[in-house]
Structure 1
Amino acid sequence: MTEIEGEIAPGFEAVREAFAANFAEGAEIGAAVSVYRHGEKVVDLWGGVADQQEGRPWQRDTLQAVFSTTKAMTAACALLLVQRGELDLDAPVQRYWPEFTAPCKVRWLLTHQAGLPIVDQTVPLADALAWDPVVKLLAVQEPFWTPGTEHGYHGLTFGWLVGEVVRRVSGHSLGTFFRTEIAGPLGLDFWIGLPKSEHHRLSRIVPPELPDPDAAAAFDIDALPEEMRDMFAAYSDPTSLSARVMSMVVPPMDNNDPDVLSAEIPAANGVGTARALAGFYAALIGGFLQLDTLALATTEQAAGKDRIMRVPVRWSHGFSLSMPETPWLPPGGFGMGGMGGSIGIAVPASGLAFGYVMNRMGTPMGPDPRAVRLITAAVESVGEQR
């Protein structure tokens, strides 16, 4: 049995049970979960192995790459500038970034409505890590749809688009702004652009197992529900926008690569603890964002079938909103998850803030059952405290 370490407040034992069950069922290698309630930490647990190659156990300060969960931190940087009166969401992007050519409002960069989910060429990995080459391409890229008319997940470009606006307004890179204006003041162990001095704390990502070739060959796409068939067809077509989003950077970024983690990729390479994720969301709903700014993170801006992911989503300014298709996000909640299973959420009405990180990546299809189990336990525990 995996030893579960950490602390838990009375009444939240169900979260520990759910966390232990994920290990007992063989779903985890190393992981951590944290929960805050009305700004107070009530769950802080970790267990398992951080690096199988080294045999290094997961510890209290182990760091984990969280992929797109990072987008929430990037959005918060922009919202903080809005709160300070330094950024106008209804202004054209060109006001802050004169070289940008698309007819696009700032808010559409945050709501995945900019029409720029990719650049119309492959991007060498070295250019992606260098920032300026991709930003220059995005500045002159013709949108793939009229900005503001549709929404489609900007898997990687979200970070460069929002991050460049933050840089132009603040004079600091996105990672530096986040560190000095949010993570530092809030005491969050979370980084966008990890210093070499912190790399020794990293947990090693374990990619999902490849499907059995015979099973894959026998897989009947037509047997899937209609919306799933559409998604499979889109990602199977190398010419589709959905597939091109996944293959824009060549070779693909490896979040076990120290050079990738030390660069600033504000859509996808944040690194932190579950405690930092939960603490971040606890701060957002606990007064760090004023009520009118918090409303920007919790109010729907775009909804319906996503042009890239091909499934229904609801977007606010940089965050995913709850809907029947997202059991990991309770009604009234907002948050962001990442490839493989990591996630951070908040439910303002109940004061719940939650963070989960892990090194064994789950299936990319649908909500991660490990996270769903943990969030369900946390929500039910909060309900019993009322």
Structure 2
Amino acid sequence: MSNVAASGDFGLSGELPVGVGGSAAAEFGPLVRRFAKTFGNRRGAGAGLAVHLRGAPLVEIWTGSAGNTPWTKDTGSIVFSATKGITATVIHRLADRGLLDYAAPVAEYWPEFGANGKGGITVRQVMTHRAGLSALSPIASGLEILDHQLMEERLAAAKPDRLLGVPAYHALTYGWLLAGLARAITGDGMAELFRTEVAEPLGIDGIHLGRPPASAPTSYAELAGNQLRPIGNPLTAKVLGFSYGIPGALGAAARCLFLPGVESILEGENPPILRTELGAGNGVSTASALATMYGALANNGIADGRQYLSPRTIKAVRRIESYRLDHALFYAPMLWHLGYHSLPMPGGRAGLGHIGLGGSFGWAEPRLGLSVGFVHNRLSVGQLTFDQSSAAWLLPMVLAGLRSTRRAAALMETPEAA
């Protein structure tokens, strides 16, 4: 295997394509070239990709721009629902220390949560999107959700809906539910817990909830593209609002995913979404930091030679808790772990992680000791379907590159190859 850190023709000279920075094992050439072609020519946008094997980087590359500046290893973007995997990791750290039990009712730790018939809802049900709280009623607005403590209080007082016990993706409420639980146990908000339970123990800076502080090495890449502005036009907003009352998958998806005015909190160089604590959706992360965190999940809880999560917790994390049609994701067959998901696709079923809106994701493959972090900053309705499916081609190419490195290593170790 060889590492590279220059520009040029990767396939012929062992160098990276023009416009790509970082380094990669030569056997990942097809992945690097596809990455460069796909993400290197987007206006105002860029991306980062990290692939680690047993904690050591095989690929650390980036391309494009973060607005007016080039993308670097320390560039982070909003990873949207990939934030949920980080939030879940915080909860696992608390469980590891005996501060909570997955099987226990949430109200045992957060008494206010027991209101309106929720006394029996367990931590496990919340972490696997079966708490019957995928939507807020009455409907919250885009501005209301910026008050994260208000949202925690509203969920504590809420009544579960008829989908209690059934998988129904808690797209936004997931973060406030686990933040309220963690706050009741520790007294700290989720942004502080991202720092004390994830970033600091792992020795990384590139994971933040909301905008990274000015003193942090991580720089924020503002969103490129039309973001979600098209859904804010009067006609679309009216149709989506009407769909709230429709039974079945469409209504469940609308209630879970759509909030009036939510597009406005994403706009601008300093969008309002960065000024709150949304543990389900406003994490800012670098590719390398995501790969590092998932590296602990991929390697028996060990990161940089230290036990980050116990074998008992890792065993619980790897277990698939639910493999059923998700009522808020148009009946997609979701394999839910405790806070993460697998995917019924090549390279995805045996792993676990979380994909966010727009396609950013973090991933662990425990059988191989492999972890992946991918982040980018384009959010554009017209390209959303393509971007959302990035994991579907990135993960198989990562695995193909890993197979190539193993074949190369085997050849080097075979005496006849000399």
Match of 1:278? 291
251-260 vs 336-345, which moves further: 251-260
Per the alignment, residue 330 of structure 1 pairs with 348
Match of 1:376 among 385, 390, 396: 396
If you compute each CA radius of gyration, which structure gives the higher value, 1 or 2?
2
SS, match of residue 63 in structure 2: strand
Q: CA 1:294 to 1:381, structure 2 compared with 1: closer, same or farther past 3 Å?
A: same
Q: Does 1:353 align with 2:350?
A: no
Instruction: Show the 5 A alignment for 1:46-85.
Output: 46-51=62-67, 55-85=68-98
- Aligned counterpart, 2:9: none
- Residue number in structure 2 paired with 1:295: 315
Is the Cα contact below 8 Å between 1:204 and 1:359 reproduced in 2?
Answer: yes
Q: Which residue among 67, 92, 102 is the counterpart of 2:105?
A: 92
Amino acid at match of 2:316: L
Match of 1:315 among 336, 341, 361: 336
Q: Are the equivalent residues in 2 in contact too, given 1:35–1:278 (CA < 8 A)?
A: yes
User: Partner residue of 2:189?
Assistant: 173
| Equivalences for residues 1-20 of structure 1 within 5 A | 3-20=19-36
For 1:300-350, what per-residue CA distance to the aligned partner results, in whole angstroms no more than 9, with x for missing partners? 1122211101111110110011314xx4x5331001000011011110111
Residue range with higher mean Cα deviation, 256-265 or 100-109: 256-265
Given residue 49 of structure 1, which amino acid in structure 2 is its aligned partner? S
Residue by residue over 1:55-114, the C-alpha shift from the partner in whole angstroms, topping out at 9 and shown as x without a partner, is: 322122112111000000000111111111110111111111111121301111100000
Q: Kindly, what percent of the aligned residue pairs are identical?
A: 31
SS of 1:63's equivalent in the other structure is strand
Letter in 2 for 1:171: G
Report the Cα offset of residue 196 of structure 1.
4.5
Unaligned residue ranges in structure 2 (runs of 5+): 1-16, 231-238, 246-250, 303-307, 407-418
SS of aligned partner of 2:95: helix
TM-score normalized with structure 2 length: 0.79
- The answer to whether the Cα contact below 8 Å between 1:234 and 1:243 also exists between their aligned partners in 2 is yes
Q: Which residue of 2 aligns with 1:340?
A: 358
Matches of 1:196 and 1:210 in 2, distance apart? 26
- Give the letter aligned to residue 157 of structure 1: T
2:243 maps to which of 214, 237, 242: 237
- What SS does structure 2 have at the residue aligned with 1:7? strand
Match of 2:202 among 175, 186, 202: 186
| Structure 1 counterpart of 2:153, one-letter code | K
Distance 2:242 2:337 in 1: 29
The farther-off stretch of 161-170 and 285-294 is 285-294
Out of 302-311 and 12-21, give the one that drifted further.
12-21
Task: Identify the structure with bigger relative contact order (alpha carbons < 8 Å, sequence gap 6+).
Answer: 1
Report deviation, 1:27: 9.7
Q: Distance between the aligned counterparts of 1:247 and 1:146, measured in 2?
A: 18
Secondary structure of the corresponding residue to residue 52 of structure 2: strand
Find the residue that maps to 2:375 and give its secondary structure: strand
Are positions 1:120 and 2:126 aligned together? no
